[in-house]
Amino acid sequence: MPPKRRVGAVSSAGLLSDGGCSITSEHRELVSDQAIDAAKARANCSEAKGTVLGRTALPMPASYAGPERIQYTIGVEGCGKSMNVVVVCAAGTPCFVAGTDRK
């Protein structure tokens, strides 16, 4: 009779940290800056100031094998405008604006 095998679940966080691909604070800052730049571009104002209001790692469906995606909520003010912009960033791709609360 063959020996029993134990099969356990492996978290994606464990794979990232064990595989040497963990996200560093420098990388997070770079991506935050890219998210702010994308939000400021949406405001169409070169003097706009952007601030990260929130950051959320998006859930990864089982069928998704790509990089971690992070959703940022950016507050943008300038040129008489004030709005919140939702920006999604993934490693190796440009950040994109997913939506705004501009009326």
The pTM of the full predicted model, rounded to 2 decimals, is 0.67
Greater model confidence, 75 or 8: 75
The pLDDT score that the predictor gives to residue 23 is 55
* pLDDT (mean) for 81-94: 88
Six token digits for residue 14: 């464990």
Instruction: Please check the confidence at residue 103 and state whether its pLDDT lies above 80.
Output: no
CB 53 within 8 A of CB 39: no
Distance CA 89, CA 56 (A): 11
Greater model confidence, 98 or 61: 98
Distance CA 54, CA 99 (A): 14
Question: What residue segments make up the domains of the chain, in order of their start?
Answer: 22-100
Encode pLDDT of 5-55 as tens digits: 443 333 333 333 333 344 567 767 788 888 888 888 888 888 899 999 999
